[in-house]
Amino acid sequence: MSLSRRQFTREFKLAALQRLETGASVAEVARAFEVNPNVLHRWRREFRQGPGNAFPGLGQRRWEEGRAAQLERKVGQQALEIDFLKGCLQRIEEQRQLQALSPKPRSTPKSKASERDGSR
């Protein structure tokens, strides 16, 4: 006969930690939640090390340093692309403004008579 390990949900663990924060002793909370006091100490340590990463649940891995760095690189690349495109738009707008300010050359139609004579 083998004993299986109990699995606790994130909500269960957070409820136990909240009870500790209200001033209850580790022994009282351990009895109330029917867990070993050492387990409560471990849960508290995990939560203090990183509240967002604590208690990821079944099948979910904690955020790895590499994944966070990868996302930061992607944000940096996108920021560079945005800056580049803003610069391009600014140059295009400057060109449009210059074209709007400069007078357009007038084209003078030649008369048929001048074309025949070769004058003008």
Ordered by start, the domain boundaries in the chain are 8-62, 64-100
Distance CA 67, CA 81 (A): 21
Q: Of 7-11, 20-24, 28-32, 37-41, which gets the smallest average pLDDT?
A: 7-11
Question: 22 near 30, Cβ under 8 Å?
Answer: no
Confidence of residue 63 (pLDDT cuts 50, 70, 90): low
Confidence of residue 1 (pLDDT cuts 50, 70, 90): low
Q: What is the pLDDT of residue 54?
A: 76
pTM: 0.45
pLDDT value for 65: 62
Sign of the CA dihedral running 117, 118, 119, 120: positive
CATH of domain 8-62: 1.10.10
Predicted local confidence at residue 59, as pLDDT: 45
